[in-house]
Amino acid sequence: MSEIITRSEEAILLEEQYGAHNYHPLPVVLTRGEGIYLWDVEGKRYFDFLSAYSAVNQGHCHPKIVAALIQQAGTLTLTSRAFYNDVLGPFEQYITNYFDFDKVLPMNTGVEAVETAIKIARKWGYEKKGIAENKATIVVAENNFHGRTTTVISFSNDENATGNFGPFTPGFVRIPFDDIGALEDVLEKHPTIVAFLVEPIQGEAGVITPATNYIRKAAEACRKKNVLLMADEIQTGIARTGSLLAVCGDCSCQEHCEKQATYTRPDVLILGKALSGGVLPVSAVLTDNAVMDVIRPGQHGSTFGGSPLGVKVAMAALEVVRGEGLAQNARRLGLLFRERMSRLVDNSDLVSMVRGKGLLNALVINTPAESSVAWEICLALKDRGLLAKPTHGNIIRFAPPLVISEQELLTCCDIIEQTILTFNQ
């Protein structure tokens, strides 16, 4: 009892005792962030290689985003959508131009945007496609991650996400990811399908990167059957994968990318996370008039969705992405990262592969998913000043803020290499 406990231990004990145990954090207690760095309560500095699951693409506490927050926080934060405000309209114009869609519906968390997309697709199915009442079906991919509400977990195949949370929402069919044949088959078989909801790269599943033409072909298959392609770019979007959106393919121009040959335009685009640079929960669904028109007054909403504070922050966050060329940086440094990690794969039996796009990457550790080795590697990385976390047991995701420089990235590659080579012995 007389032992001195550190500030870190104290903070961890408090969370243990008073917080629900719905996460299993790495034992590090953070108190400050700036750019690509985080500091713990003992003053140790870390490279952040998780970026709050890609919510902090612009780096921690980006001065321009924080300035927008402070300015708007002292002016007007929330009015409810019962009235107009003078920030929402400009935001809607800005974001629809930015991503080239007719209309936007702002929400808060990512999963709310997914829920919104599902509701829009169903309503569109009944009102525009003539689907019989309560029959609308949405196709999803195996190993998807779209968030944690009851409806959204209803189509998850992760037993941790679903166990004892039933009964579930009907109206979804799951097909293998990256399998165009399976998509064409299901579209052929079920005339009640209204949408295909998919992550262009499956982040939570372990950065599963499909064949180059997968999304393009999926869009073609959907178009043929008058089915909406709904891209969940909550994690992959906003420059993370080396282009403004993962559906931009190989284009990193950040502007007018619909003109590029590699761009596949989804019918519905779902954004969250980095839309606010990690400052506030801001999410959005973008689509064209013919789809968004099905939503009329009183049919959907959110108290905080489209708040002056949230949308001001989102505009600043998107401005930073463009102004600092984050997509180009992510593309260039992503190539470098995978090149360095491929060498590590060659030199170490402990890593079986590196995969990813832009600065959304993962190392697959050559152990069974139940093994604790990936966790132990993350603990060792933490000791050496780099924060990352395993996903699905033996996969470690590496996703630093996109403001990282080449020199800093190379330093981080050294840390990762040295740490893993130590484990090999």
Ligand X SMILES: *Cc1c(COP(=O)(O)O)cnc(C)c1O
Q: Which of 232, 304, 312, 389 is catalytic?
A: 232
| Smaller CB separation from ligand X, 33 or 147 | 147
% helix / strand / coil in the chain, to the nearest 5?
40, 15, 45
3-state secondary structure of 37: strand
**Smallest distance, Å, CB 252 to ligand X?**
21
**Smallest distance, Å, CB 393 to ligand X?**
18
232: annotated active-site residue: yes
Neighbours of 40 (CB within 10 A): 19
**Smallest distance, Å, CB 281 to ligand X?**
6
| Smaller CB separation from ligand X, 199 or 267 | 199
State the residue number with the nearest CB to ligand X. 110
Give, for 408, the enclosing helix (H) or strand (E).
Answer: helix 406-424
**Smallest distance, Å, CB 285 to ligand X?**
12
| Smaller CB separation from ligand X, 238 or 315 | 238
| Smaller CB separation from ligand X, 108 or 419 | 108
At residue 339, φ and ψ (nearest 5 deg) are: -65, -45
**Smallest distance, Å, CB 238 to ligand X?**
12
Q: Which of 123, 273, 312, 389 is catalytic?
A: 273
99: annotated active-site residue: no
| Smaller CB separation from ligand X, 384 or 392 | 392
Q: Which of 145, 155, 172, 304 is catalytic?
A: 145
3-state secondary structure of 311: helix
Q: Using CA atoms, how far apart are residues 38 and 385, in angstroms rounded to an integer?
A: 9
145: annotated active-site residue: yes
Q: Using CA atoms, how far apart are residues 112 and 74, in angstroms rounded to an integer?
A: 27
Q: Strand order of the sheet with strand 268-271?
A: 103-107, 283-287, 268-271, 228-232, 193-198, 137-141, 172-175
Positions that interact with ligand X (CB under 6 A): 53, 109-111, 114, 145-147, 199, 203-204, 232, 234-235, 272-273
Q: Using CA atoms, how far apart are residues 131 and 69, in angstroms rounded to an integer?
A: 44
Q: Using CA atoms, how far apart are residues 425 and 417, in angstroms rounded to an integer?
A: 13
Catalytic residues: 145, 232, 273
